[in-house]
Structure 1
Amino acid sequence: MSKLDGNERWKSKMLLTEHQEQYEARRGEKLSGRPTPEELTMIRDYILLPHMLTIVEKNMEDLKRSSNVMKRPFLAVAEAIANRISRDMYDLRRELSRRRIRVIGDEQVDLVVYHRFVCRGYEDRLGIVREVMRSEISVRLARYFGDPIRWMSEYAKTGLRPKQD
């Protein structure tokens, strides 16, 4: 017999272990609704990639109308980059869907573009300053352009067509 057996106050305070587990599971779901830093990066990429694709497609249209001698190789590189961006967008969309994250819409207030997102029931908005967006897109496009340049330099050295990622 323990000291608490005779005390009626303690009977109502006890919880069964299965109820405790259910409570912790529900509480854990609510806490896990917030996006992790990795998921916030994915949301940012989801926002930037369509802008990047639009820029590449617009430049492709400009190249098609130009009389530039190097038009065909530039178009081929731009096409490869557009395909890579599209593939990355598709993969990112699938991963966000798998993690139950939706990016809803955008609104612009002064120089900041806000995008609302829902992450496992948790709603918030992500704001990106337009200048930061531009510089990030510039850095990312340079990274995308680096791959075809690397492929061409390997081709020039070896004469064999390198594998594309």
Structure 2
Amino acid sequence: MSKLDGNERWKSKMLLTEHVEQYEQQRHPAAAAKIITAEERTMIRDYILLPHMEKMVQKSIADVEHSTNILRRMYVLAGQKILERIMKDLYTLRGELKKRNIKILTEEQSDLVVYHRYYCRGYEERFGMTRDVMRSEISVQLTRYTSELAALLKEMK
């Protein structure tokens, strides 16, 4: 029995989600297997964002193909390489989510928040992100893909 059992005051304090998860796992070991982890939340976020990134890169490639830029062939090849990487990551992520018995379903929008329903080991929950958060996460991930491509090109020197 923990000092926090029966004391409702701890709920009003600011706690990191990892600490709450650890406490819940200690109190209810059987239910802990059904609680979604921080890593799985990140996987859900990426699963939601990757299709948006795929569309953005495809549109960018189409725009570059129709431009008169001298280096358009190089830009198209770089865009295709990034698109391949996004699609590979999405495929891997789908397999990992399936292995962990997590299913992501519909998208619904409420004010500025986009919600996705998901089932995690028998429990249904909602995952919400604002459009600003989605934009910033997409920007960060596209920067990461671009950096990986740049590092690959530097290795070829």
- Structure 1 residue 149: Cα displacement: 1.2
Structure 2 distance, partners of 1:153, 1:33, is 44
- Identity value in percent: 47
1:147: Cα distance to partner? 1.4
Cross-structure match for 2:45: 44
Q: Secondary structure at the match of 1:102?
A: strand
The offset of 1:150, in angstroms, is 1.4
| Secondary structure class of the residue paired with 1:66 | coil
Q: Distance in 2 between matches of 1:76 and 1:64?
A: 10
Report what 2:85 is aligned to. Answer: 84
CA positional deviation for 1:155? 2.4
Matched residues in 2 for 1:148 and 1:28: separation?
A: 43
**What corresponds to 1:136 in structure 2?**
137
User: Following TM superposition, by how much is the alpha carbon of 1:33 offset from its aligned partner in structure 2, in angstroms?
Assistant: 1.7
Q: How far 1:30 moved relative to its partner?
A: 4.2
Residue of structure 2 equivalent to 1:162 = none
Question: How many residues are paired up?
Answer: 130
- Matching residue of 2:153: 152
Match of 2:8 in 1: none
Higher-Rg structure is: 1
- Residue 124 of structure 1 corresponds to 125
State the alpha-carbon separation in 2 of the partners of residues 103 and 153 from structure 1. Answer: 38
Alignment partners' CA distance in 1, 2:30 and 2:79:
44
Match in the other structure for 2:72: 71
> Is there any run of 5+ residues in structure 1 with no aligned partner, and where?
1-26, 157-165
Match of 2:111 in 1: 110
Could you tell me how far apart the structure 2 residues matched to 1:77 and 1:119 are? Answer: 36
Residues 1:56 and 2:71 are matched in the alignment: no
The letter for the 1-side match of 2:134 is M
Structure 2 distance, partners of 1:90, 1:80, is 15
SS at match of 2:156: helix
Q: Within 5 A, what are the aligned runs for 1:9-20? A: none
Secondary structure, counterpart of 2:42 in structure 1: helix
Q: 1:54-98 CA deviation, whole Å, 9 max, x = no partner?
A: 100010111111111010111111000000000000000000000
- RMSD, matched Cα: 1.3
Q: Where does structure 1 differ by over 4 angstroms across 4 or more consecutive aligned residues?
A: 27-30
